[in-house]
Amino acid sequence: MTTHAKSPEDVPAEPTAKRLPSAVVARLTVYLRALNGFVAEGVERVSSEELADASGVSSATLRKDLSQLGSYGTRGVGYEVENLLQHLSAALGLTRDWRVAIVGAGNLGRALARYGGFETRGFEVVALLDTDPQIIGNEVGWLRVADAANLESIFKRTRANMAVLALPGSAAQQACDRVVAAGVRSILSFAPAILQVPRGVTLRKVDMATELQILAYHAQRGEAGGQTGEDEHGEPAAGTASA
Amino acid sequence: MTTHAKSPEDVPAEPTAKRLPSAVVARLTVYLRALNGFVAEGVERVSSEELADASGVSSATLRKDLSQLGSYGTRGVGYEVENLLQHLSAALGLTRDWRVAIVGAGNLGRALARYGGFETRGFEVVALLDTDPQIIGNEVGWLRVADAANLESIFKRTRANMAVLALPGSAAQQACDRVVAAGVRSILSFAPAILQVPRGVTLRKVDMATELQILAYHAQRGEAGGQTGEDEHGEPAAGTASA
DNA sequence: TAGATTGTTAATCGATTAACAATC
DNA sequence: TAGATTGTTAATCGATTAACAATC
């Protein structure tokens, strides 16, 4: 699918490319997941109300979000599931080829490498690196752990364009710098460290301890709150319990 | 107003326990991390400017956030690192005892169980459960994998008050229900599934695929954007690259 | 056409920023 | 006191919600 199929229909009339608020981007991924659920159930058409319910947002928010991408629904009818799925994928940039290199083959790195969730959603894990001689060469899933000393050449050969950092906080910044130097501009870090990246590089961070701390806050004060999802600006995600 | 000296207005604003916006809560965890960094460096006092820089936010935002907790700084001087650390921890509810049970001892569950980040921040992993007979009984770190069939009794015995779900999407909802039934009101899910929880239960979700999708969006459109952290409403976190 | 539901506008709500008076 | 920096207020900005006209 990397080929440039330029038939008129394929070219989305969207040089519009408005910058979407990050809260919207986060919700789009939720809608995507919900739509996949509908596809699995054989549902062909949904209303904003139905999709919003499945996504845990209000239908007003859903329509507002979708309308930022274009008019992909039909008044009085709803949205065609497959069609909307395509447009959402396109808007999120998922029609491209994303090749992910995982840096760090410790417990977490190995777990991530074997995690099935990537493949099914358009991401391919193309490399798994570590510096530990004890680990280098081991097979993990269908990958072999490569020597992180060769990071640059490995990234080049595998054409990795995303990196996942799964290493100790102490090693994270250095690894991050090398990954950036290798030309990667999208990084997901699981390292418990505050990382510095140059402009033009997008870094996202997932930290277990942070998540637990936020849970602690809610638990401490009578909680009451429903669920919240990951993501910037903390949009409520994948909700439920809205009632 | 009444003649009673006990009218609400008279009560000192000390135990006020205002509900903090989730964006603020998320940032507090960042400040906490930054403060720990200062402690490690032996710094005893910081200005809002310094702490804000280290946290990747503006000093105005920092002061606004901290002022919601109380007045813990000294005008003309700054904040005492240790003192502020204490207050932040208290505000986040980290002075309590948090006992975490990990449900699912697959690759991810085992990785999490061995992850050092918890202990150092006041969370104790007290149990690791799975349903697979092949895995039950195995040692992981200093824990032994217990049979998830006994989930209720294990949670009771270990007095677990937080749960981490590290299992396939297909098994997640059922496990989640049992965890809730066992009395846990704070759940962190790594399962790629939209989970339903009753009111009063706080659920947070971390999903690799979602994170990568968000990265894909930024990469697809000239990126430009700096870094963003986890959390609701997506506050920029742990930033850098601000220059 | 009548019924339904989108896309959009206007109103509300909340969060961030800037500026400064209070005060150490 | 003079200098510094907090805590807070007011202004700006952005996001959510509600309502409805457009239209299938």
Contacts of B219 in chain A (CB under 8 A): 93, 161-162, 185-186, 202
pLDDT tens, B86-102? 999 999 999 988 999 99
Give the residue-averaged pLDDT of B205-227. Answer: 81
Are A86 and A104 part of one and the same domain? no
Check pLDDT > 50 for residue A89.
Answer: yes
Check pLDDT > 80 for residue A1.
Answer: no
Is B46 within the bounds of a domain? yes
Are A112 and A88 part of one and the same domain? no
Check pLDDT > 60 for residue A139.
Answer: yes
Percentage of chain A modeled with pLDDT above 90 = 69
Are the Cβ atoms of A19 and B221 closer than 8 angstroms?
yes
CATH code (residue B70): 1.10.10.10
Is A139 within the bounds of a domain? yes
* A228: contact with B, CB 8 A cutoff: yes
Q: Smallest Cα–Cα separation from B73: which of B95, B58, B88?
A: B88
Radius of gyration of chain B from Cα atoms? 21
- Give the pLDDT score at B243: 25
Number of domains composing chain A: 2
CB A153 within 8 A of CB A170: no
Answer yes or no: is A236 CB < 7 A from strand C: no
Is A232 within the bounds of a domain? no
Query: Looking up tokens 């992910």, which residue turns up?
Result: A100
Contacting residues for B130 by C-beta, under 8 A, at least 6 apart: B103, B104, B105, B106, B109, B136, B145, B146, B147, B148
- Give the pLDDT score at B223: 53
- Give the pLDDT score at A158: 98
Residue scoring higher pLDDT (B109 or A232): B109
Are B175 and B201 part of one and the same domain? yes
Which residue segment(s) compose the domain that A157 sits in?
Answer: 98-208
Q: What's the CA gap between A224 and B185, in Å, rounded?
A: 10
DSSP A106-162: SHHHHHHHH-TTTGGGTEEEEEEEES-TTTTT-EETTEEPEEGGGHHHHHHHHT--E
CB A68 within 8 A of CB A18: yes
Are A77 and A145 part of one and the same domain? no
Is A221 within the bounds of a domain? no
Are the Cβ atoms of A203 and B98 closer than 8 angstroms?
no
Are B29 and B102 part of one and the same domain? no
- Pairing state between β B143-144 and B139-140: antiparallel
- Give the pLDDT score at A17: 64
* B177: contact with A, CB 8 A cutoff: no
Are B108 and B163 part of one and the same domain? yes
A121-125, B74-78, B117-121 — most confident range: B74-78
Is A217 within the bounds of a domain? no
Are B146 and B193 part of one and the same domain? yes
* B112: contact with A, CB 8 A cutoff: yes
Residue A115: band (very low, low, confident or very high) from pLDDT cuts 50, 70, 90: confident
Are B139 and B188 part of one and the same domain? yes
CB A1 within 8 A of CB A95: yes
Token pair of B45, please? Answer: 């006092």
Are A188 and A151 part of one and the same domain? yes
Measured in angstroms, the CA of A13 and the nearest CA of chain B are apart by 16
Percentage of chain B modeled with pLDDT above 70 = 82
Is B224 within the bounds of a domain? no
Q: Using CB atoms, which residue from A37, A195, A204 is nearest to B228?
A: A204
Last residue of a domain, one of A62, A92, A122: A92
pLDDT tens, B116-173? 677 667 899 999 999 999 999 999 988 999 999 999 999 999 999 999 999 988 999 9
Give the residue-averaged pLDDT of B41-69. Answer: 97
Beta carbon pairs, A and B, within 8 Å: 327
Are B167 and B146 part of one and the same domain? yes
A129 CA → D16 C1’, Å:
44
Are the Cβ atoms of A210 and B200 closer than 8 angstroms?
no
Is A2 within the bounds of a domain? no
A225 CA → C12 C1’, Å:
22
Give the residue-averaged pLDDT of B62-66. Answer: 98
Radius of gyration of chain A from Cα atoms? 20
* B146: contact with A, CB 8 A cutoff: no
- Give the pLDDT score at A19: 85
CB A114 within 8 A of CB A141: yes
pLDDT tens, A145-168? 999 999 999 999 999 999 999 999
- Give the pLDDT score at B118: 73
Check pLDDT > 70 for residue A239.
Answer: no
Residue B196: band (very low, low, confident or very high) from pLDDT cuts 50, 70, 90: confident
pLDDT tens, A164-203? 999 998 999 999 999 999 999 999 999 988 888 998 899 9
Are A106 and A69 part of one and the same domain? no
CATH code (residue B182): 3.40.50.720
Q: Smallest Cα–Cα separation from A200: which of A177, A224, A220, A184?
A: A184
Are B28 and B115 part of one and the same domain? no
